[in-house]
Structure 1
């Protein structure tokens, strides 16, 4: 119990110090913002990283002498100076782990961050809303547009503030989704790429009738369940186009689109260009 309280206090202090530090910078040193969906191994690098574990089976993470088992609804904070590895269950569902990484080689929000391995894990509330914030940071990190540094900095500060509120005093946290909708959204973080996913299946996860689920989901999330699925699939397709050598049809299948023509039409409608044009233009390279 005392160890948990200590981790909560250390995490809150670190987020608060990072907020103050980031706010005074003209542009954030943010080399990476994105989602891990499988095992990961990171070599030593001067990074301060915040990871939101949104979905998947229990994932073992090791950094130096420290080990932890991540489960959905966990915030992990670490210094990557010493390298670390993450191993999800071999036969489990794909994980959903959103990282926001700060380069602290020349300036750091806290002193002596490079002196000893640090691995902090704490539970957070309002995971679905935090993932939406992480997704927004990831999207802005990839884009090139007017006032890019200002837009990205603003969204990262919002993410850090939301993380602090979700770790700290519950009375100060933003309103969460209702329990059923929260469960459905969390289910989607790891299941959106499965072809044939239906609204009825999501309604059963939420323990609601299909009609009630559809109305409540749209009221709380702002879009229909299938529109939300499409948003997740297109975001995944963008990431695969950016970071892999899969061809366009393979990207579509991996993101949950069973029909390549439907994938191309949906991608163009959402992004404004075809998947091939998106890749050829080099848009959003990490």
Structure 2
């Protein structure tokens, strides 16, 4: 049995249908409108079966676990760092992998620009391909989160504009990724950054990263700072902070458990590092986000 929603730690926003109709009559949101957005962490048994397709374009970014998309008689696996883009009206069925359920960020979009961009993404050479590797999955996740946060704020035109901008940027980038072809490999700095993202829980020295990159420590450090705008230690600290913010929002884990999950054995030291970047403590950050997410009279 497939479950539509209701997962621990999920975030979900859906515009009322009358608001959708109003927004589609406005020039900007009439061309690109995010109608639904969400984040489902470790979504066991999640899935949908739409024999007539959806009214909007469906975009699903997998950031963990795995899933499967069935469309036009073919099954497409969806792995971390991959995105499924389903044109509106396209019959489909998708589901989380039963042994390793996916974690996803997703949105529904509609409008003339959405349709044009989706055609560029899914049919670059008249060869329908609804699943693709994202060249920068972290930027894609940020765009989807931006769209979701905008809808979580309120349903004013300003928030809808913000969500539309994030969606337009994401779809345009996916179209560019598709046009460029397979993700380029071989950049030693990108490899080092990927390594840091994948090893948040461990401490990695600059010398170790330089070895991974195949460069001297001094050359690697200079190139890393040029590419990232900061040194390795600061870059890794900010990656850890971003992951900690996500865990604070989407889980009930204690601050100590989250500290360990992102590589800090000492929760007090973690809290000091978190405050230095975010201007508030982990506990206050969690409470303030929940306050913003609650409906107000």
TM class, shorter-chain normalised?
0.5 to 0.7
User: Offset of 1:230 from its aligned partner?
Assistant: 1.9
Match of 1:181 among 189, 202, 217: 189
Match of 1:44 among 48, 56, 61: 48
Structure 1 residue 262 corresponds to structure 2 residue 269: yes
User: Offset of 1:254 from its aligned partner?
Assistant: 1.5
Q: Which of the two has higher C-alpha Rg?
A: 2
Deviations 1:25-64 (A, max 9, x none): 58522321x585x57542328574434557x89x463548
For 1:140-155, list aligned pairs within 5 A.
Answer: 141-142=148-149, 144=153, 147-155=158-166
The answer (yes or no) to whether the contact 1:39–1:87 under 8 Å persists in 2 is: no
Matched with 2:287 is: 280
The answer (yes or no) to whether the contact 1:180–1:206 under 8 Å persists in 2 is: yes
Partner-residue secondary structure (3-state), 1:231: helix
User: Offset of 1:264 from its aligned partner?
Assistant: 0.9
Point out which structure has higher relative CO (alpha carbons under 8 A, 6+ apart).
Answer: 1
From the superposition, tell whether residues 154 and 279 of structure 1 become closer, same or farther in structure 2 (CA, over 3 Å): same
Aligned length: 242
Match of 2:131 among 101, 106, 121: 121
Deviations 1:89-119 (A, max 9, x none): 79xxxx9x76332167xx9966xxxxxxx98
Matched with 2:211 is: 204
From the superposition, tell whether residues 60 and 157 of structure 1 become closer, same or farther in structure 2 (CA, over 3 Å): closer
Structure 1 residue 221 corresponds to structure 2 residue 231: no
Distance in 2 (CA, whole Å) between partners of 1:70 and 1:269 is 37
For 1:86-101, list aligned pairs within 5 A.
Answer: 86=97, 99-101=105-107
The answer (yes or no) to whether the contact 2:32–2:113 under 8 Å persists in 1 is: no
Partner-residue secondary structure (3-state), 2:227: helix
Matched with 2:243 is: 236
- TM norm structure 1: 0.65
From the superposition, tell whether residues 139 and 62 of structure 1 become closer, same or farther in structure 2 (CA, over 3 Å): closer
CA RMSD of aligned residues (A): 4.2
From the superposition, tell whether residues 183 and 72 of structure 1 become closer, same or farther in structure 2 (CA, over 3 Å): farther
For 1:50-61, list aligned pairs within 5 A.
Answer: 50-52=59-61, 59=66, 61=68
Deviations 1:214-244 (A, max 9, x none): 2111211222222222222112111111111
For 1:100-115, list aligned pairs within 5 A.
Answer: 100-102=106-108
Matched with 2:20 is: none
Unaligned runs of 5+ in 1: 1-20, 111-117
Distance in 2 (CA, whole Å) between partners of 1:71 and 1:285 is 30
